């Protein structure tokens, strides 16, 4: 695999994760259980869309075909997306959304920490900017997971159900393939598999405090980040996210 192709794929993976999760989280805007959480979730969504602009902007630059971040976000179809399956799953209830957010934020905080020392300065710069936002995201989502997990019997049961549902999607974040091998040998990004121990320690600490039990099985659904197969949910999400550019091509504010 050519280095530039691998870098392009890597950047799509980073950008599609934040794009798809950012859009999912934005679906709570105006309908969250309380006003304060509504605003907090919208802030988180906006942060992730902002990070997407950097990742996909750089991806378009590396690809060298003149595609912008907007082109990549709004004019690709499902099979060209490279996000992990975890982020495209429907929101479920509020607890499930926050559990997914925590499971993602924990990974993002560790990943960005490594990317800040990337040999590619453009990658390191994006990581440095994003890591400050993600440090707050993970503090907030971890706090909510603890609050709800160690809350009432009802909230505890919902958070355990959310963890049981979502944990089988976590492992995809740590899958490695030839794109990752190329990134490792170029010193651009760490091997995803090498982040697992730090991740397990982080979520174990928070989930224990939340009185939740991590499922024993490490089985994982996968296929999103390689583009092999997405869940049926992503296509439905894109019909919402992309409809304006599809219906009115080239429309601008």
Partner 1 sequence: MSKEWPLWEIFIRGQHGMSHRHVGSLHAPDEEMAIKNARDVYTRRNEGVSIWVVEAKHISASSPEEKGPLYEPSNSKVYRHPTFFDIPEDVGHM
* CB 159 within 8 Å of CB 95: yes
Q: In the set 25, 40, 99, 237, which binds partner 1 (CB under 8 A)?
A: 40
Q: In the set 1, 29, 31, 39, which binds partner 1 (CB under 8 A)?
A: 39
CB of 49 to partner 1, least distance (A): 14
Counting contacts by CB under 8 A, is residue 197 touching partner 1? no
Size of the site for partner 1 (CB under 8 A): 12
Q: In the set 26, 27, 32, 43, which binds partner 1 (CB under 8 A)?
A: 43
DSSP state of 167: G
Phi, then psi, of 205 in degrees rounded to 5: -60, -45
* CB 10 within 8 Å of CB 177: no
Counting contacts by CB under 8 A, is residue 139 touching partner 1? yes
Task: Determine the interface stretch with partner 1 among 11-19, 133-141, 188-196, 220-228 (rule: CB under 8 A).
Answer: 133-141
Report the C-alpha dihedral over residues 233, 11, 40, 148, rounded to 10 degrees: 60
In sequence order, what are the residues at sequence separation of 6 or more whose Cβ sits closer than 8 angstroms to the Cβ of residue 250?
Answer: none
Distance CA 90, CA 93 (A): 9
Task: Determine the interface stretch with partner 1 among 37-45, 48-56, 60-68, 235-243 (rule: CB under 8 A).
Answer: 37-45
Binding pattern for the stretch 96-115 against partner 1, x by CB under 8 A and - elsewhere? --------------------
Q: How many residues does the chain have?
A: 253
Counting contacts by CB under 8 A, is residue 143 touching partner 1? yes
Distance CA 172, CA 35 (A): 33
Counting contacts by CB under 8 A, is residue 244 touching partner 1? no
List interacting residues with partner 1 (CB under 8 A).
34-37, 39-40, 43, 136, 139-140, 143, 147
């Amino acid at each position: 695999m050519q280095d530039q192709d691998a870098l392009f794929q890597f950047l799509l993976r980073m950008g599609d994760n934040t794009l798809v999760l950012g859009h999912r989280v934005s679906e709570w805007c105006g309908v969250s259980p309380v006003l304060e959480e509504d605003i907090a979730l919208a802030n988180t969504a906006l942060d992730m869309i902002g990070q997407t602009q950097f990742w996909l902007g750089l991806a378009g630059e590396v690809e060298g075909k003149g595609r912008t971040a907007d082109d990549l976000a709004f004019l690709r179809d499902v099979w060209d997306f490279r996000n992990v399956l975890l982020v495209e799953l429907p929101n479920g209830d509020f607890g499930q959304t926050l559990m997914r957010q925590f499971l993602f934020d924990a990974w993002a905080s560790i990943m960005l920490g490594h990317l800040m020392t990337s040999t590619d300065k453009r990658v390191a710069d994006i990581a440095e900017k994003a890591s400050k936002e993600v440090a707050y995201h993970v503090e907030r989502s971890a706090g909510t997971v603890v609050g709800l997990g160690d809350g009432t019997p009802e909230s505890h049961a919902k958070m355990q159900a959310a963890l049981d549902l979502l944990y089988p999607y976590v492992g995809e974040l740590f899958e490695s393939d030839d794109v990752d091998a190329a990134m490792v040998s170029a010193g651009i990004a760490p091997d995803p598999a090498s982040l697992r121990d730090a991740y397990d320690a982080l979520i174990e600490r928070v989930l224990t405090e939340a009185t939740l039990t991590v499922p024993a099985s490490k089985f994982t659904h996968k296929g999103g980040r390689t583009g092999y197969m997405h869940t049926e949910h992503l296509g439905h999400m894109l019909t919402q996210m992309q409809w304006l550019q599809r219906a009115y091509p080239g429309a601008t504010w």
